[in-house]
Amino acid sequence: MNKKLIALFLGTSLVLAACGGGDKSSENGADDGKSYVDDSAGAKIYKQNCINCHGDNLQGVSGPNLQEVGAKQSKDDIEKIILEGKGGGMPKGLVKGKDAETVAQWLSEKK
């Protein structure tokens, strides 16, 4: 009975170790320990519309990394991309109107 219990414990430990439970910061591109997504209005819009392509921490998935997008582009430039799309990967109109302005302002602060 003891051997079975030990084998079960070791097996469970190996499965848990293989499936994760470690430091998630290296998985999502946030090696610097910063959290890029907060509870602001812009972040909420981002979470609803952009997270699938740009990642849960702005690290980029199928879309580009946005962690420092505000250092490269102005709020107006970001808003234009949100409204009109860019290239073949960024579709236009995912976020519209005031929401587009809000998320563009929020992203422009990421430097």
List, for residues 27-71, the tens digit of each pLDDT value: 444 445 566 778 899 999 999 999 999 999 999 999 999 999 999
Query: Has residue 97 been placed in a domain?
Result: yes
pLDDT tens digit sequence for 87-111: 888 999 999 999 999 999 999 999 9
**Domain CATH number, residue 103:** 1.10.760.10
Q: Which domain holds residue 83?
A: 37-111
Q: How many domains is the chain partitioned into structurally?
A: 1
Q: Report pLDDT for 6.
A: 59
Query: Has residue 31 been placed in a domain?
Result: no
pTM of the model: 0.68
DSSP labels, 84-108: H-BTTTB-TTSS-HHHHHHHHHHHH
Query: Has residue 79 been placed in a domain?
Result: yes
